[in-house]
Each structure stands twice: as structure tokens, then as C-alpha cells.
Amino acid sequence: MEISKNLESLSNSFKKVNYQLYIVGGFVRDSLLGFNPTDIDISSNAPIEVVLEICNKHNFVCKVINKTLGTLQISKGSDTFEYTRFRVDSYGTGHTPKSVTFVDDIVTDAKRRDLTINAIYYDIANKKIVDPLNGEKDLKNNIIRTCQSPQITLKDDGLRILRTIRISSMLGFKMERHTLKGLFHFRENLLLISKERILSEIKKLVIADTKFGIPNSTFWDMTNKLKLLPLIFNHGMHTIKKIPKSDILKFYETPCDTRLIAFYLIVIKNYSMHYLKIHQLKFVINMLLGLDGIKESNDTIRLVEKLYQIYQNIEYDIDTLNASINYLSLLEENKKVIYLFLSKQAKERLNNNTMLVSAKNLPLGVHELKVSAKQLIEKGIDKKFVGQILSTLFNQVIEMKVKNEYKDLLELALTINSTFLSISKSQNSRSKK
């Protein structure tokens, strides 16, 4: 196992004061699998005060992360390590331990961890593996197993449900049957976890299989089998029995950067099962992704709304030309997501419309009209009508009722402006009476 000189030096400093320093967790696991991990977690039975003293004496920068949990961040040069003292955790509700008891025994420390493959230690000074829970055997057999019985390991920390699925997906490992039963039994503990933490884990989960390039469908298999969607989004999604295989296959074809968006589109598609008018779509998306749901960012919510509106208009053949033009204005990765989920007939409609847009040189937005807001104002168009007039001009052009030429657009704009002014004067007259 390749260890930096700084970490070897730190280990030697521990040994001089009669403490043994270990690497534990993902770094050991992934190194044994032949991958190249970067994040290093280290552990020993040395109290924080002793570690701080060692670091100060040997020019390591040491920052207390959580004194109660016995965690520190230690760094030197380009190396950064997270130190945790051996301990036993006691949970209340949620994800964070209610109280901890520090211990000297490595076996006791191992048992508090989530999975046997994450409880393999590397003795830095003696350059050897210490494996109190037979995690190496599970590693060789590609098995995901909890450190203790699932009733103990999973009952107090709902986030371990998603973390276990993520690691299984990342490594392409199979769930040991008791662990799988435990995940199902304790899945409702997800309701005790903050939506911010769930969102953070979901963002990792949807791309977990891409980390080491091990193709598998664990994420969706477990989502269906454990009926997780109502628990993730905290809404009445029990109507979704399971996500169909066709959608799952399309999900795994989407680019890594758009997996999260694809996940949301699949959820909305299977939740609604029919065309949603714009106010209905806004309601559903805000319910699932907004403050009452998973608490996504406003930018992501707006993007999902835009993409789903384009998708369903093309799929249900409603205002398809306009939707196709909006499709063409998207980033390439977002185009691919929409295209993957369209039916064969909808793809034909989209292809025909995009060819039409190209052949007729139709604008992709108001910004591509041959007349600008500034030019309209210079020609006497009332400022308060400019936005509405430009929108009308754009719709007239894509419906091919007027050419996208300056002269034609200006003539129509002046006509619309006169109409708006007449209506405005008429309304003012009635209000005075």
C-alpha cells in the first residue's frame, strides 16, 4: 500500500509515544481492490490532546473538526488526513451520534462502522492489514455486509441506507441477504434524516457506478426493491409501484453530468403519467424538488421544469414546433437527456421540426429576431409594450405568418403597438367614467 512520507512520519511520531496509527475505511478498501483512492481516514486510540501535541511538535497543521466525536483534520504539505479516535457511538434520532465513548480496542471501534469492507485497518508502522471483522473475505467475494447484525448497524442511522446502496453500486457488489432485509426493515428511518443530507447522498448515488467504471443497475434495483422514492421525496408517491426497466436503461445511457436531472425527469414522468399543464407541472416539481420536497436549488428546479415542459410537449404533440425550437437552444447534454426519453413517434416529430427550423432558418429565440428592442423603441414603440410585442413577433415568425426580416417585423410591430395603445386608451376612458 502506497503511503506518503508525511503519513509515515506521523505514524512514527505516534509510535514514539506508544500509540499505533492506522488507515481505515475507503482508502484501505479501494487500495486492496487495485483502485487509486485519494481521501485518507486515519485512526488510533490516542486522545485529541495527545494528537494535537504530536502535530505541533512535528510541524503538522491540526484543526479540530468535532471534539465530541474525536475528529481532527491533519495536514502537511499537499497531504490532508482526517483523524478519528477509536470510539463507540450512541444514537438518538437522525444521523449524528447523540453521545460517544472513546475506547482503546480496535475491534470495538470496527463494530461501530457500517460495513465489514469499510472496517479493514492498515497498520502503518508494521505495514500490515488488521481485519477484525473479516472484511477482506467479503471484499474478495464481492459482498456487502454490515459490521454487526443489521438490527444494530442500521437501526439508528437512516443515512446508512443510502450509503450502503451507494457503495454497493460503486463497487458492483451484491448485498448479503440479512443486510438486504435490514435495509428494507429500517428504510423508513430515512424520514428522520434532513433533506439536505439526503440530497447530498442522492447526488453521489446517481453516479456511483461511474466512479470505477463498473456497470450495474444497483441504484435503481434497490430504489424499486426498497420502495425508496416516497421516503426520498417525502410525498405521496406510493402510486409508483416501480420504475419501468425501459426508463432505467435510458437513465444509464445519460451522460454522467446529467444523471441527476435524468433521475428527476424519470420521477416526474412516472409520478404524473399524463400531460401536465404548466401550473400543474410547477406544482408537482415544487412539491418534489422544492422546500417541501428534497430542497433542490432554484436553478436546478427551473432547469428541470424547462426540460420536462419541452419533453412532454414533444411527446404529447402539443405546440411541438415551439418545443422543438426550445429543444435546439439547449446545451448538448440536456438535449441528449430529453431525446433518450422520447418515444419513437415523438423523436420523428422532433427530427421533422428541427429540419424545418433549419430549412426555413427560423429563430431559436427572441434574440435571433432581425429586429431588437432598441430598434423598436427608436421607431416609436411604447416601452411598456416592447417585451410583449417581441414575444408576439417571435411566435408569428415560427408559425411562418411573417418573415424574419427587419422591414416585415417592424411593420407588424407598429400595427400591434397601435392596437395596444387603442385598447389602453379605451380602458382609461372607461375607468374615468
317-340 pLDDT tens trace: 999 998 999 999 899 999 999 999
Q: How confident is the model at residue 263 (pLDDT cuts 50, 70, 90)?
A: very high
pLDDT above 80: residue 420: yes
Confidence category of residue 236, pLDDT binned at 50, 70, 90: low
pLDDT at residue 240 in the model: 77
pLDDT of residue 175: 98
Match 475507503 to its residue by C-alpha cell.
Answer: 26
Burial (CB < 10 A; 0-12, 13-18, 19+), residue 371, is buried
Given this model, what pLDDT does residue 205 score?
98
Confidence of residue 427 (pLDDT cuts 50, 70, 90): confident
403: confidence class by pLDDT, cuts 50, 70, 90? confident
List the beta bridge partners of residue 174: 143
Q: Is the pLDDT of residue 270 over 70?
A: yes
8 Å CB contact between 40 and 27? yes
Q: Which region among 84-93, 142-151, 189-198 has the lowest average model confidence (pLDDT)? A: 84-93
pLDDT of residue 359: 81
- Whether the pLDDT of residue 388 is over 80: the answer is yes
Query: Where along the chain do its domains lie?
Result: 1-141, 235-360, 369-432
User: What string of DSSP letters covers 325-345?
Assistant: HHHHTS-HHHHHHHHHHS-HH
| Higher local confidence (pLDDT), 272 or 307 | 307
**Position 147 pLDDT exceeds 70:** yes
pLDDT over 80 at 237, yes or no:
no
**182-215 burial code (b ≥16 CB/10 A, e <16):** bbeebbebbeebebebbbebbeebbbbbeeeeee
92 φ, ψ (degrees, to nearest 5): -100, -115
pLDDT tens by residue, 351-380: 999 998 888 888 888 888 899 999 999 989
221 pLDDT more than 60: yes
- Asked if residues 249 and 276 have their Cβ atoms less than 8 Å apart, the reply is no
pLDDT surpasses 60 at 298 = yes
Provide the pLDDT confidence category of residue 395 given band limits of 50, 70 and 90.
confident
Q: What is the CATH superfamily name and number for domain 1-141?
A: Beta Polymerase, domain 2 (3.30.460.10)
Query: Which one-letter amino acid corresponds to residue 110?
Result: A
Calculate the average pLDDT of the chain.
92
What is the predicted pLDDT for the residue at 426? 76
Residue 106 confidence (pLDDT) above 70: yes
